[in-house]
Amino acid sequence: MSTVDDPRTIEFDVRTDEMLVNMGPQHPSTHGVLRLVLRTDGEVVSEVTPHLGYLHRCAEKIGENLTPRQFIPYTDRMDYLAGMNMNLGWALAIEKLMKYEPPEKGRHLRVIISEMGRIASHLVGMGAYGLDLGTFSPFLYAFRERERILDLFEEVCGARLTYSYITVGGATADLPPGWLEKCEAFLTQLEPIIVEYHTLLTTNSIFIKRTAAIGVMSAATAIDYGTSGPVLRGSGVDHDLRRDGEEIYTAMYDGYAFEVIVEKNGHYPKDHQYPAVPQEAILGDCWHRFYVRMLEVMQSIDLVRQGIDRYSRASGSYGEPMKLNQKLPKGEAYLETEAPRGQMGFYIVSNGEAIPWRARARSSSFCNLSVASELCRDCLIADVPAIVGSLDIVMGEIDR
């Protein structure tokens, strides 16, 4: 009984079809080889389905054929933007199985190195997010700073991407002489530059328009999907394994002063020198996830400084790397550490031989990505890169 007078009827008569679009695996803003299948109606996306497996390299199976120290290089290639933190996660899991405690100097060395890795990783996250939103320059600025960190890492272990530096029992070598001063000088240079990034991105009105109130994830949703890291904290959940983790991991940060970067009453810790949260932003949106990352860089700078101070005062050895073919005690161990992208867990089962019977990795990006289809419901196409970019995933870690 439709009449042409009713505008709703006319609108209904205009038949539109849904279109399925493959975003990826070869797409500029899917951070590697992620494939998203978008169900679109014009510019509106009704459904996003992530498809994985384009970077699967059987890392877990390889872990069952190598001794723990031989497996270290494979952990580098999981989250290739934070190799040091991956090394640390695996090393700590084995150490938990072996009930080994690294010496004090080794602990401080690990704090310095892993927090530097976090800075490098978050810088890439920041730059790539700018790229997702269509601005190219912040990406190159971020890489300019990251290069300095890579230079420092190169001096430490000879590699710029796949370090294999932190290893079971400590590290492969001590920090070279004069390295701490260079590191300190770099941090002093980096700090004011971060303020520039805030002017360029965080407070840019177009940036706020593109990220504020986009992809809002409630704390409940964030917990339900098992997200972690800045993605979880961006939703206002006060959880950081550096403080809330297992004893063997938190012992590393014993005596360090740091606050978990999470919003409390509209404010973030350490945000006094930065602009306040814009009115448009809602807790749990892309802007908050980005801001948490930016503040964590400041947090890490602080931690590295404390680490340098403690390391230079500590005496003794930096640790003793485990022998290549040392037999593992019978049993199993699972340990999660706070990698830049969230909780990275390693699980090892040993039957008393040098080679683990089972090695498994729990990826943070995998859980963080799983929430994408929830966040992208009924958004616009342009929001898909904005949301997926704010989750800051690395496909190498998801597919392993």
Partner 1 sequence: MASAINKLLDWMLSGLGLSVSADSAVGYIVAALIHITLIINLVAVGALVFIWLERKISGRIQDRLGPTRVGGKFGWLQTLADGLKLITKEDLMPDGADGFLFKIAPYVSFAASIAAFIAIPFAGGPYPWIAQHLNTGVFFVVAVLGLEVFGVILAGYSSASKWSLFGAMREAAQVVSYEVPLGMCAVVPVLIAGSMDMVVIGNQQAGLFTNWFIFHDPATFITFWVYLTCATASVNRAPFDLAEAESELVAGFHTEYSGLRWSFFFMAEYGSMLSVSILASVLFLGAWNGPIPVASMLGLTAANGDVPGYIGNLLGLLNVLFKGVVGVSVMIWIRWTLPRLRIDQVMATCLKYCTPIAAVMFLGAVVWQYNLPGRTFFGLLAAPQETFAVDEGWAALPTTTAEPAKPAMVERGAATSLAPRLAANQGRGN
Q: How far is it, in rounded angstroms, from Cα 178 to Cα 158? A: 16
- In the complex with partner 1, which residue's Cβ is closer, 134 or 329? 134
The amino acid occupying position 105 is K
Q: Tokens at residue 362, please?
A: 């729990």
Stretch that binds partner 1, among 94-102, 200-208, 239-247, 344-352 (CB under 8 A): 200-208
With binding defined as CB under 8 A, does residue 42 bind partner 1? yes
The size of the interface with partner 1 (CB under 8 A), counted in residues, is 31
CB of 363 to partner 1, least distance (A): 24
**Cβ 379 vs Cβ 394: under 8 Å:** no
DSSP string, 101-129: ---HHHHHHHHHHHHHHHHHHHHHHHHHH
How far apart CA 172 and CA 304 sit, in angstroms, is 20
Nearest distance in Å: CB 80, partner 1: 21
The set of residues, in sequence order, having a beta carbon less than 8 Å from that of 309 and lying 6+ positions away, is none
144 contributes a contact to partner 1 by CB under 8 A: yes
Using the contact rule CB under 8 A, the part of the chain among 127-135, 151-159, 219-227, 364-372 near partner 1 is: 127-135
Number of Cβ within 10 Å of residue 16's Cβ equals 8
Query: What whole-number distance in Å separates Cα of residue 98 and Cα of residue 116?
Result: 27
How far apart, in whole angstroms, are the C-alpha atoms of residue 115 and residue 29? 27
- How many whole angstroms separate alpha carbon 230 and alpha carbon 300? 13
For residues 132 and 397, which CB has a smaller minimum distance to partner 1 in the complex?
Answer: 132
CA distance 286 to 260: 19
Residue from 19, 58, 161, 185 touching partner 1 (CB under 8 A): that is: 19
**Nearest one of 148, 150, 168 to 159, comparing CA atoms:** 150
Q: Is 141 in the site for partner 1 (CB under 8 A)?
A: yes
Residue number with CB closer to partner 1 (135 or 370) = 135
Based on the shown chain and the rule CB under 8 A, indicate whether residue 272 belongs to the binding site for partner 1. no
Figure out which of the listed residues 50, 68, 102, 130 binds partner 1, where binding follows CB under 8 A: 130
Is residue 29 close enough to count as binding partner 1 by CB under 8 A?
A: yes
* 176 touches partner 1 (CB under 8 A): no
315-331: b (≥16 Cβ within 10 Å) or e: eeebbebbeeeeebeee
Does position 50 interact with partner 1 (CB under 8 A)? The reply is no
Query: Does residue number 197 form part of the binding site for partner 1 (CB under 8 A)?
Result: no
Q: Answer yes or no whether residue 33 interacts with partner 1 by CB under 8 A.
A: no
Q: Alpha-carbon distance 109 to 319, whole Å? A: 10
200 binds partner 1 (CB under 8 A): yes
Please tell me whether residue 383 binds partner 1 under the rule CB under 8 A: yes
Tell whether residue 193 is a contact of partner 1 (CB under 8 A).
no
Closest approach, Cβ 23 to partner 1, in A, equals: 9
Residues found near partner 1 in the complex (CB under 8 A): 19, 21, 27-29, 42-43, 130-137, 140-141, 144, 200-201, 204, 206-207, 209-210, 380-385
